[in-house]
Amino acid sequence: MTQIVLIQRWGVYHWEDFRFKDGSMRDKFCIALVCKTYIPKSKSLEEIPFILPTSQWEKYERNPTWLVDTVILNPNESKFFPKKTILDLKNIQMVEREILKNAVENGKLTFKGLLEEDICKKVEEGIKKAKTLSPLIKELLLCESLEENS
């Protein structure tokens, strides 16, 4: 029986062998910022935005400019992230639906649950105030362009 994985806004997923922009691969937690619930079965090349949380606090602390446009979660503030975790809004990955579809079909993507509501609000506020995100990207990530067209 095939497992159906819904990709939904604020869903926290574990992605086995996630491929980064530099071509490297490793297991990664990610948070979906998709605006409408999506079942990855289409062959569209449309992209889905994901935040890639990191617990590499020491690297960010040594490079204060990296902390621009980030949301910092304290240890255990989220049930998904027991360590101090950074949600770097400058590091939002756009993933093609076909890649997502393949990850689901190969059992590499696992839904862990929905991010806590208070953290969702913090992320949305961070996106609104972000200095490094263009107005168009902010609109996309806040789902504003879809609301106008609905």
Q: What would the pLDDT profile of 69-119 be if each residue is shown by its tens digit?
A: 999 999 999 999 999 999 999 989 999 888 888 898 899 999 999 999 999
Question: CA dist 88 to 2, 44, 50, 93, 122, Å?
Answer: 33, 27, 11, 11, 12
Both tokens assigned to 59: 């690297």
Whether 100 maps to a domain, the answer reads yes
Whether 6 maps to a domain, the answer reads no
Whether 128 maps to a domain, the answer reads yes
* Beta carbons within 8 Å of 74's beta carbon, 6+ residues apart: 84
Residue with more model confidence, 60 or 6: 60
Distance CA 68, CA 59 (A): 13
Whether 18 maps to a domain, the answer reads yes
Whether 1 maps to a domain, the answer reads no
Whether 5 maps to a domain, the answer reads no
Structural domain that includes position 109: 11-149
**Rounded to two decimals, what is the model's pTM?**
0.87
Domain count, the chain: 1
CATH number at 121 reads 2.30.30.110
Whether 26 maps to a domain, the answer reads yes
Q: Convert the pLDDT of each residue in 7-63 to its tens digit.
A: 899 999 999 999 888 889 999 999 999 988 765 555 444 788 999 999 998 999 999
